[in-house]
Amino acid sequence: MDAKALIAAIGGLVLLTGSTLAQTSTLPLWSAGEGRALYDEKGTPSLNLYTAAEPNGCAVVVCPGGGYGGLAKDHEGHQIAQWFNERGVTAVVLHYRLGSQGHHFPAQLADVQRAIRTVRGRASEWKVDADRVGVMGFSAGGHLASMASTKFGEKAYKAIDALDEHSARPDFSILCYPVISMDTGVTHGGSRRNLLGPDKKDDAAAVAHVSSEKNITADTPPTFLFHTDADTPVPPMNSILYYMGLKKHNIPAEIHIYQNGPHGVGLYGGDPILSTWSGHLDNWLRSNGWYAEKKNVERAKVSGAVSLDGQPVSWGTITFTPYRPGLPIVTVRIRNGKFAVRDRSAGPVIGHSQVSFSASIWETTGAAKDRLRTHDQLAEFDPSTVQVEEGATYQWALESK
């Protein structure tokens, strides 16, 4: 089986595990009584649980947008949960309290903290790994997810039961065209007004307190960001400021800003360009090991030599695709016939992997006929499957078709 067939098979496996209808249920976020009385509860915040047919242990709390005045429950909630279920991820859509219902900060922070703690507290029951619980948000829901990622240590409510003994810190965060800053000129005015309320919407201290780019620390989790340059309600500077803050603290992050596209797109499946953002997210989640238990993501330092048509590969890549679904795919650069991974955390996953190549020898030959050869332009080679082990060395002699 070549690498393309293997990747297709793995992709099919992943999608097949979640293609059956997921189990869904709705439960109140706060138990009746003490927890709900904390903020003179008038709304009904809830958790909408979407369990994959064959959960892989990862879970994500999803916060739909709506300017803290409403909730985009379908394209930023229900559809997103189904997308996660197709990949074996348990999704929990949070219907949090809203400013339009008279609930202002810190009610929303309390809701998302309680949601994350609930997932961890019920991890065994929901077949979730408590070390792989993320948060995702869109627009104002992205702001809420960013607060969950920067203010998880802030006590937004008094502990009421055993669930509150669990950490409220997400292990990773996904922010889609998020409101981040509450500063005038950058923020979405309606979100600021609904979150802080009429009495504090212009209070400088209150605004700074909930401007997430100002609250990033070294403990803020790794983050994936997606925005469009044409977004006028929530300018892309929101995502840029957050990304810059993450880099200031050396926190792993990935950002995608598309030139075109309006605000509030969700998956945007009809657009062949903008819809690719979810594929980037899928790759990010897999590359960082969130689809698999940590014990299954041990990596190795490896090295080796690669030639093409009898010449050292001057420029190319080798890709290790694990046979076990959900594990990170790792690509390593080849230069002057050799490759090496010296940082174990960036190496291929220990175990059986399919290998594939791209390769060029033009720098050596200077021949006009020589060009970059991708995997489908190479003859079959041996070995095409390897057992990745710590410190292993490999050698391949490739030939053009």
Q: Express each pLDDT in 108-129 by its tens digit.
A: 999 999 999 999 999 999 999 9
pTM of the model: 0.91
Q: What is the 3-state secondary structure (H, E, C) of the chain?
A: CCHHHHHHHHHHHHHHHHHCCCEEEEEECCCCCHHHHCCCCCCCCEEEEEECCCCCCCEEEEECCCCCCCCCCHHHHHHHHHHHHCCCCEEEEEECCCHHHCCCCCHHHHHHHHHHHHHHHCHHHHCCCCCCEEEEEECHHHHHHHHHHHCCCCCCCCCCCHHHHCCCCCCEEEEECCCCCCCCCCCCHHHHHHHHCCCCCCCHHHHHHCCHHHCCCCCCCCEEEEEECCCCCCCCHHHHHHHHHHHHCCCCEEEEEECCCCCCCCCCCCCCCHHHHHHHHHHHHHHCCCCCCHHHCCECCCEEEEEECCEECCEEEEEEEECCCCCCCEEEEEECCEEECCCHHHCCECEEEEEEEEEECHHHHCCCCCCCECHHHECCCCCCEEEECCCCEEEEEECEC
| 3-291 has CATH 3.40.50.1820 classification | yes
Per-residue pLDDT tens over the stretch 42-67: 568 999 999 999 999 999 999 999 99
Average pLDDT over the chain, rounded to an integer: 92
pLDDT of residue 351: 95
- Does CATH place domain 297-398 in 2.60.40.1120? yes
Q: Give the residue extent of every domain in the chain.
A: 3-291, 297-398
Chunked into runs of 10 residues, the chain (401 residues) has average pLDDT values of 42 39 83 54 83 96 98 97 97 97 95 98 97 98 98 95 97 98 94 96 96 98 98 98 98 98 96 97 97 91 98 98 94 98 95 97 94 95 96 97 94
